[in-house]
Amino acid sequence: MAKINFGGVIEEVVTREEFPLEKAREVLKNETIAVIGYGVQGPAQALNMKDNGFRVIVGQAPGMKGDWDKALKDGWVPGETLFPIEEAASRGTIIQYLVSDAAQRILWPSLQKYLTKGKALYFSHGFSITYKEQTGVIPPPDIDVILVAPKGSGTSVRRNFLAGSGINSSFAVFQDYTGKALERTLALGIAIGSGYLFPTTFEKEVYSDLTGERGVLMGALAGIMEAQYQVLRKNGHSPSEAFNETVEELTQSLIRLVDENGMDWMYANCSVTAQRGALDWRHRFREAVLPVFEQLYESVKNGTETRIVLEKTSGPDYRDKLNAELKEMRESELWQAGAQVRKLRPKV
């Protein structure tokens, strides 16, 4: 592993130079990788591995027409590379368990009988293993249990792969029965097109992931945008002006500068007025939200968030309630203004 200095903290990471694609192919040359689930992460990881020359099959319930049809459209062939879930699990030597967290609990009784000696059970989220008391997902002792978790959506995993870059991923080994679990894990991380791989544990992965999704990546971001937009509108600013100052400038300009060179570089390349105000208000925002993040992390750590997810997603009317919540967001003035602003962007 390469030793990298992350702001004064030395970490070991795995790069493509250290673990090239050719090595991954050699490690996995006798493996059949069964991707179970063709919803969010499944398509991207399966297609990336297929394009990289690995032996991949897909397991998907034919009754779930949307995902089954999507697999057909992507070129997976029934009876050859596309199978019902249990048949794919029986054929695979590495089982990539990529259905949703709630579905993992439901499918587990029918899947576990195919986890025979020496196979590997692969996750892209530490949820089911870390909260096994709630999920009931307890692997047999004579298999490898491993994780590669891309730090991006399935759409981004595929898009970045096609662009030649890749999404960074964390990796972990929960159970090493064969003595080759780490090698298998790193090979799979390279196979799915990771930019680089950094070590974690199943527990740390799910704690950071659930905190991030509820925090900066989605929950906090949406909440902060809504608050600023409401204040601007309340004070007489038009929807167009409020949206542009809240969302459009962030997504189309500033965040791209942060991506390229960091937050300090973005600050240094903004006006003096913007610099001064951002530097001063940054601390007030941090102190205001720090207690909320501490509460959030504790809620993740003690299993409260997991219980809520499993309870709400297992209800027969969950999809209807979810669609109602998303509809409310979509039809809010903020995001209706956003739809119009996107239409007005110059066509490339």
Residues labelled catalytic: 125
Q: Residue 186: is it exposed, middle or buried by C-beta count within 10 angstroms (0-12/13-18/19+)?
A: buried
* Amino acid occupying residue 1: M
Rg value, the chain, Cα: 22
Measure the CA angle with vertex 96, ends 95 and 97; round to 5°: 105
Q: Copy the structure tokens of residue 155.
A: 């759409």
Helix axes 333-344, 219-234, angle to 10 degrees: 90
Question: CA 338, CA 271: separation in Å to the nearest integer?
Answer: 25
DSSP 206-274: HHHHHHHHHTTTTHHHHHHHHHHHHHHHHTT--HHHHHIIIIIHIIIIIHHHHHHH-HHHHHHTS-HHH
Q: State the burial class of residue 94 (Cβ atoms within 10 Å of its Cβ: 0-12, 13-18, 19+).
A: buried
Long-range CB contacts (within 8 A, 24+) of 78-87: 81/56, 81/57, 82/57, 82/58, 83/57, 83/58, 83/59, 84/59, 84/60, 85/36, 85/59, 85/60, 85/61, 85/110, 85/111, 86/59, 86/110, 86/111, 86/114, 87/59
Task: Say how far apart CA 209 and CA 38 lie, in whole Å.
Answer: 21
Quick one: 220 exposed, middle or buried, by C-beta within 10 A (0-12, 13-18, 19+)? middle
The one-letter amino acid at 35: V
